[in-house]
């Protein structure tokens, strides 16, 4: 990856790819940037710009060849081998998120779960072993995991910050209410669902 491309742009590339796949299933072979834009809610200008960022090329007469585009996006987004993911907090939320969003993603592979509840540890959840949280610093580097999904409660965050900083994790998707004080080499995407809901409520009230 030579150029700097924003995280938002990468998220959009992933969204484009999903639509391209559905177009393939419908038997389409070519697509114009404005079609992709209409289906995803962005502008055609932005679609073209984003695709450029992934080194994709189209032609002025036929637009983009879908198969080529998907290939370029696979190359850009997925790399050579699947990213290895661990889950912190093996409760209902964690399991639901894994089942809905990680399942069938060839480029992402769950390799372990961690919890501090002895009732949940030393069992298999979502196809992987669930370890006690105290084993994390040892196990994560051995598994070569680079991504973490956090659905643990607020109180666990300080401990998890320390574990994550020291175990080679490079990206965190955090559903806990608090962001994690991580050093800047680690990417954190904090999804604060409670606050998103409250913002929606506030906005809908003022309309």
Query: Where does this chain bind a copy of itself (CB under 8 A)?
Result: 1, 7, 10-11, 14-15, 18, 40-41, 76-79, 83, 85, 92-93, 95-97, 99-102, 105, 107-108, 146-147, 149, 151, 170-173, 175, 177, 179, 185, 187, 189, 191-207
**Contact region with DNA (CB under 7 A), list: 20-28, 54-62, 113-121, 132-140:** 54-62
Asked if 46 interacts with DNA (CB under 7 A), we say yes
What number of other Cβ atoms are within 10 A of residue 113's Cβ?
26
CB of 119 to DNA, least distance (A): 41
CB of 192 to a copy of itself, least distance (A): 6
Q: Measured from the CB atom, is 9 or 143 closer to DNA? A: 9
Query: Which CA distances in Å does 110 have to 40, 62, 88?
Result: 28, 40, 11
Separation CA 154–CA 108 (nearest Å): 26
Separation CA 24–CA 98 (nearest Å): 26
Asked if 59 interacts with DNA (CB under 7 A), we say yes
**Contact region with DNA (CB under 7 A), list: 39-47, 103-111, 130-138, 184-192:** 39-47
CB of 65 to DNA, least distance (A): 10
108 binds, among DNA, a copy of itself, none (CB under 5 to 8 A by kind): a copy of itself
CB of 188 to DNA, least distance (A): 15
Q: Measured from the CB atom, is 65 or 95 closer to DNA? A: 65
CB of 11 to DNA, least distance (A): 9
CB of 10 to DNA, least distance (A): 11
46 binds, among a copy of itself, DNA, none (CB under 5 to 8 A by kind): DNA
């Amino acid at each position: 990856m030579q150029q700097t491309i924003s995280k938002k742009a990468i998220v959009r590339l992933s969204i484009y790819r999903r639509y391209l796949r559905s177009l393939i299933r419908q038997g389409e072979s070519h697509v114009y940037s404005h079609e992709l834009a209409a289906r995803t809610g962005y502008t055609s200008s932005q679609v073209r710009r984003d695709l450029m960022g992934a080194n994709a090329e189209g032609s002025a007469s036929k637009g983009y060849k879908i198969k080529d585009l998907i290939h370029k996006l696979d190359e850009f987004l997925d790399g050579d081998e699947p990213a290895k993911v661990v889950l912190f907090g093996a409760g209902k939320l964690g399991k639901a998120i894994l089942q809905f969003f990680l399942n069938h993603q060839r480029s992402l592979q769950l390799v372990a779960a961690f919890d501090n509840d002895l009732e949940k540890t030393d069992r298999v959840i979502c196809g992987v072993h669930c370890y006690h949280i105290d084993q994390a610093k040892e196990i994560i580097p051995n598994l070569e995991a680079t991504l973490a999904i956090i659905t643990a409660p607020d109180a666990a965050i300080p401990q998890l910050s320390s574990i994550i900083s020291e175990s080679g994790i490079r990206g965190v998707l955090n559903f806990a209410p608090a962001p994690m004080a991580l050093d800047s080499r680690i990417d954190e995407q904090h999804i604060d669902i409670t606050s998103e809901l409250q913002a929606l409520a506030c906005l809908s009230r003022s309309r």
